[in-house]
């Protein structure tokens, strides 16, 4: 039996005061069923809190280590302290762009909530101002820097809220009823930054302090100039704006400002500010990264405007696609949501492509980059061979579908990886529907000559190429996002090999038609070698990973139907067969044929693929412009994987029974799609 004293051994002690009477008295004037709610908390929120443990109900609980003295926005600061706070404004802004909420990043700077208190127009001048800590450092300099940060966030928020990227999924848009200076013109804030620099230069501060403060104000101004710059109309101004911002980042981070011991500037940051703000997100305190890491993020953020400048001056669907897919193929962190949204808006907005081209430009580029033939020539071939009353089919049906498909197709390169995968799954059906329409339309035409016949024969292949490319990307993204169970990996490589074989056949047919020397011809030659290497890798990995399959065949078939349900949509039943057909019953037969081929050498196949990829990585690829560097890096990374597999896989199929498939490790940091054998294995 427990001791009687245990009943009084309660957390926090037993000296509680009964407050029942207090609540009874307070509720005497309330009507029955009347509820008093605090700001930002509805009755639905309160009911949900009892069900799921709403963290906001605990927001009023302040632990001892979280207690802070009252914030005084006019507490004097040294120039070094002002520099440190300005540095934190850049760090907090980058944390928001990295995916944190405003209440976890930008709004933790308490000056954001006390801007009226530091407005010099509302303050009485000081008679005995501390010359080492003048008030104007706060009311003029620091205030301008904080206003600049908020205006930068406002400019970014306006782009992010266009639904090109997804709120909560890609970025956090909750403002918590805090102003981002939505009603203040950008030029006003820029002028305030200039005024602040003038105050600093005319002060009695040391040259080092003047330089440090002015550099930070100038960096904020340079960032605002980049945000407000319109690349499509002001692209000639972008290189100078970039050079200024990059130079200032280098200067500021090379001369960091250290805080004095026990500085009051530390009180400017309140990581628990969310408990005082109305918001619907759970309150979670996060640590700010080290300064060097914040500067690295800011530098990468600014440098991505280089990519924007290169793309807006590259009127080519291929260049946009290759650049957009490079960060995915290299398994890098996605660019900031702001930049991904900006590029989608720049590519197509308000009915125009790249700001000035009508949608017919998409058609022209689509066919020219796929077939190396001007769209006018293609239309002429259709008109010469079209039967009576059928001349409008190409323009009315196929054109609309291509435009409708190409805009999201290019934009999807800047979706987040899971959303991009889901989009590509839908694209597979859409491209096949277009392929079906093209085939039926072409069958109705009677070309009068060989040139027209060649063009008509090639038209459906353009949609087939896109469908097969989308299939390949969906399968590979499953490895990259670690979706496949061990049982599924051999089947995924088998399916990938079949898709690549069909893609290579399509390329061979187009190479007979596409004029040599054109962008389309160069890209087809490149893809014929690139995809051949990918097929060698995938075909060889099927028998090497076949022992991963341990489940019954009924379970494997069921998993296959669920994993590849995007290939079994009922709409496919009304269209021409989508080759290669997703028929799992072919897998055992093809696996058995691969195992029985005693002359087949896995290591030699990987070696051949490595040679192809290495040669491609060293070849010039002028037709993709600035995107060539990313493509070469991708090819070299793939060649390195092949080199590793060459050294650790059987030299012949006779050695296959002794191969331990457990030595193969799928490590996304090494390669997102294919396994390697670590040195420790």
Query: Confidence band (pLDDT; 50, 70, 90) for 138?
Result: very high
The per-residue pLDDT for range 567-606, each reduced to its tens digit, is: 999 999 999 999 999 999 999 999 998 888 878 899 999 9
What residues contact residue 679 under an 8 Å CB cut-off, 6+ apart?
none
Give me the pLDDT at residue 247, please.
Answer: 97
The residue that leads in pLDDT, 376 or 9, is: 376
The residue that leads in pLDDT, 474 or 55, is: 474
Give me the pLDDT at residue 55, please.
Answer: 52
Q: What is the average per-residue pLDDT within 670-676?
A: 95
Residue 456 in tokens = 């008509």
Residue 471 in tokens = 């299939």
Give me the pLDDT at residue 49, please.
Answer: 57
Instruction: State pTM to two decimals.
Output: 0.88
Give me the pLDDT at residue 542, please.
Answer: 95
- Reported residue count of the chain is 681
Query: Confidence band (pLDDT; 50, 70, 90) for 5?
Result: very low
* CA separation for the pair 478, 489 (Å, rounded): 9
Three-state DSSP string of 533-590? HHHHHHHHHHHHHHHHCCCCHHHHHHHHHHHCHHHCCHHHHHCCCCCCCCCCCHHHHH
Buried b (16+ CB within 10 A) or exposed e, 555-565: ebeebbeebbe
When mean pLDDT is compared across 35-44, 96-105, 308-317, the lowest value belongs to 35-44
Residue with tokens 């930068």: 152
The per-residue pLDDT for range 254-300, each reduced to its tens digit, is: 998 888 888 889 999 999 888 888 876 666 788 889 999 999 999 99
* CA separation for the pair 130, 76 (Å, rounded): 8
Give me the pLDDT at residue 31, please.
Answer: 78
Q: What is the average per-residue pLDDT within 123-150?
A: 90
Neighbours of 470 (CB within 10 A): 24
CA 583 to centroid of chain Cα atoms:
34
Residue 657 in tokens = 């029974």
Residue with tokens 């710059």: 229
Phi, psi of 42 (to 5 degrees): -95, 170
The per-residue pLDDT for range 36-78, each reduced to its tens digit, is: 777 777 777 666 655 444 555 555 556 666 677 889 999 999 9
DSSP, res 487: T
Q: What is the average per-residue pLDDT within 539-548?
A: 94
When mean pLDDT is compared across 26-30, 286-290, 393-397, 677-681, the lowest value belongs to 393-397
Give me the pLDDT at residue 32, please.
Answer: 74
Q: What is the average per-residue pLDDT within 93-108?
A: 95
Q: What is the average per-residue pLDDT within 104-108?
A: 95
Give me the pLDDT at residue 61, please.
Answer: 59
Neighbours of 124 (CB within 10 A): 5
CB neighbour class for 658 (10 Å; exposed up to 12, middle 13-18, buried from 19): exposed
Q: Is 219 helix (H, G, I), strand (E, B) or coil?
A: helix
**Torsion, CA 400, CA 406, CA 412, CA 414, rounded to 10:** -130
The residue that leads in pLDDT, 556 or 274, is: 556
% residues pLDDT > 90 (the chain): 75
Give me the pLDDT at residue 1, please.
Answer: 42
Long-range contact set of residues 434-442: C-beta below 8 Å, sequence gap at least 24: 434/398, 434/401, 434/402, 434/405, 434/463, 435/460, 435/463, 435/464, 435/467, 435/575, 435/576, 436/575, 436/576, 437/397, 437/398, 437/401, 438/398, 438/462, 438/463, 439/576, 441/393, 441/394, 441/397, 441/398
SS3 content of the chain, % helix, strand, coil (to 5): 65, 0, 35
Give me the pLDDT at residue 313, please.
Answer: 93
Query: 370: cis peptide before it, omega within 30°?
Result: no
Residue 407 has pLDDT above 90, yes or no: yes
* CA separation for the pair 674, 642 (Å, rounded): 9
Per DSSP, the residues of 223-284 read: HHHHHH--HHHHGGGHHHHHHHHHHHHHHHHHSPPPPPTT-GGGGGB-TTGGGGS--SSPP-
* CA separation for the pair 304, 628 (Å, rounded): 16
Give me the pLDDT at residue 262, please.
Answer: 82
When mean pLDDT is compared across 146-155, 186-195, 267-276, 392-401, the lowest value belongs to 392-401
Residue 392 has pLDDT above 90, yes or no: no
Give me the pLDDT at residue 28, please.
Answer: 80
**If you average pLDDT over every residue of the chain, what do you get?**
90
The per-residue pLDDT for range 613-631, each reduced to its tens digit, is: 999 999 989 999 999 999 9
Residue 323 has pLDDT above 70, yes or no: yes
What residues contact residue 599 under an 8 Å CB cut-off, 6+ apart?
652, 653
Q: What is the average per-residue pLDDT within 321-341?
A: 95
* CA separation for the pair 522, 531 (Å, rounded): 14
Query: Confidence band (pLDDT; 50, 70, 90) for 10?
Result: very low
Residue 284 in tokens = 């979670």
The H or E element spanning position 431 is: helix 417-443
Query: Confidence band (pLDDT; 50, 70, 90) for 241?
Result: very high
Q: What is the average per-residue pLDDT within 96-124?
A: 94
DSSP, res 353: E
Cα-only R_g, the chain: 32
Helix axis angle for 553-563 and 488-511, nearest 10°, is: 50
Question: Domain-by-domain residue ranges, the chain?
Answer: 4-66, 79-306, 314-663
Residue with tokens 């492509």: 353
Cβ–Cβ under 8 Å, residues 43 and 49: no
Q: What is the largest CA-CA distance in the chain?
A: 105
* CA separation for the pair 447, 453 (Å, rounded): 5
Q: Is 100 helix (H, G, I), strand (E, B) or coil?
A: coil
* CA separation for the pair 408, 402 (Å, rounded): 11
Residue 7 has pLDDT above 50, yes or no: no
What residues contact residue 428 under an 8 Å CB cut-off, 6+ apart?
467, 470, 471, 474, 566, 567, 578
Cβ–Cβ under 8 Å, residues 638 and 334: no
Q: What is the average per-residue pLDDT within 127-142?
A: 88
Beta bridge partners of 349: 352
Query: Confidence band (pLDDT; 50, 70, 90) for 2?
Result: very low
Nearest to 641 by CA among 617, 618, 616, 607: 607
Give me the pLDDT at residue 389, please.
Answer: 59
* CA separation for the pair 497, 586 (Å, rounded): 13
Q: Is 43 left (phi over 0), alpha (psi -120 to 50) or beta?
A: alpha
């Amino acid at each position: 039996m427990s001791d009687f004293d245990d009943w009084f051994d309660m957390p926090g002690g037993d000296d509680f005061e009964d407050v029942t009477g207090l609540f009874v008295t307070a509720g005497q004037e309330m009507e029955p069923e009347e509820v008093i709610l605090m700001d930002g908390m509805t009755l639905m929120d309160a009911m949900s809190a009892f069900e799921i443990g709403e963290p906001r109900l605990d927001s009023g609980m302040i632990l001892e280590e979280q207690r802070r003295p009252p914030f005084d926005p006019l507490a004097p600061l040294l120039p070094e302290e002002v520099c440190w706070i300005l540095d934190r404004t850049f760090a907090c802004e980058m944390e928001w762009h990295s995916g944190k909420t405003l209440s976890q990043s930008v709004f933790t700077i308490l000056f954001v909530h006390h801007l009226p208190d530091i407005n010099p127009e509302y303050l009485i001048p000081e008679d005995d101002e501390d010359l080492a800590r003048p008030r104007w450092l706060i009311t003029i300099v620091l205030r301008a820097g904080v206003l600049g940060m908020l205006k930068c966030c406002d400019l970014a928020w306006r782009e992010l809220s266009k639904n090109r990227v997804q709120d909560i999924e890609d970025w956090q848009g909750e403002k918590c009823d805090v102003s981002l200076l939505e009603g203040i013109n950008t030029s006003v804030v820029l002028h305030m930054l200039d005024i602040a620099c003038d105050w600093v230069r005319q002060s009695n501060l040391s040259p080092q302090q003047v330089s440090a403060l002015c550099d930070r104000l100038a960096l904020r101004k340079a960032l605002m100039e980049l945000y407000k710059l319109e690349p499509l109309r002001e692209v000639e101004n972008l290189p100078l704006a970039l050079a200024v911002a990059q130079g200032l980042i280098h200067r500021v981070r090379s001369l960091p400002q250290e805080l004095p011991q026990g500085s009051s500037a530390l009180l400017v940051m309140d990581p628990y500010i969310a408990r005082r703000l109305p918001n619907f997100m759970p309150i979670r305190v996060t640590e700010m990264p080290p300064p060097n890491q914040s500067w690295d993020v800011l530098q990468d953020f600014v440098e991505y405007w280089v990519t924007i400048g290169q793309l807006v001056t590259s009127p080519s669907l291929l260049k946009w696609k290759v650049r957009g897919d490079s960060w995915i193929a290299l398994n890098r962190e996605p660019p900031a949501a702001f930049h991904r949204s900006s590029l989608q808006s720049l590519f197509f907005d308000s009915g125009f492509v790249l700001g000035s081209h009508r949608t017919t430009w998409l058609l022209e580029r689509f066919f020219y980059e796929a077939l190396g033939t001007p769209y006018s020539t293609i239309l002429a071939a259709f008109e010469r061979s079209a039967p009576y009353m059928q001349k409008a089919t190409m323009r009315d049906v196929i054109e609309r579908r291509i435009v409708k498909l190409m805009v999201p197709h290019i934009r999807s390169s800047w979706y987040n990886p899971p959303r991009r995968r889901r989009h590509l799954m839908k694209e597979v059906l859409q491209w096949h529907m277009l392929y079906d329409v093209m085939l039926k339309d072409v069958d109705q035409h009677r070309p009068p000559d060989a040139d027209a016949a060649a063009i008509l024969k090639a038209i459906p292949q353009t949609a087939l190429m896109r469908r097969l490319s989308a299939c390949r990307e969906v399968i590979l993204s499953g490895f990259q996002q670690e979706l496949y169970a061990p049982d599924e990996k051999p089947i995924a490589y088998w399916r990938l090999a079949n898709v690549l074989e069909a893609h290579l056949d399509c390329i061979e047919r187009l190479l007979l038609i596409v004029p040599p020397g054109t962008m389309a011809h160069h890209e087809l030659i490149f893809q014929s070698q690139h995809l051949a290497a990918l097929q060698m890798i995938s075909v060889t990995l099927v028998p090497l990973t076949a022992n991963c399959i341990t489940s019954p065949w009924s379970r494997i078939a069921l998993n296959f139907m669920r994993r590849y349900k995007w290939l079994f949509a009922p709409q496919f039943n009304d269209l021409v067969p989508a080759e290669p057909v997703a028929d799992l019953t072919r897998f055992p037969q093809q696996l058995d044929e691969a195992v029985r081929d005693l002359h087949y050498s896995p290591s030699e196949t990987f070696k051949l693929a490595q040679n192809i990829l290495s040669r491609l990585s060293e070849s010039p690829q002028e037709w993709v412009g600035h995107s060539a560097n990313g493509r070469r890096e991708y090819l070299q990374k793939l060649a390195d994987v092949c080199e590793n597999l060459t050294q650790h896989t059987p030299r012949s199929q006779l050695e296959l029974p002794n191969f331990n498939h457990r030595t193969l490790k799928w490590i996304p940091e090494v390669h997102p799609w294919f396994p390697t054998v670590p040195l420790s294995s």
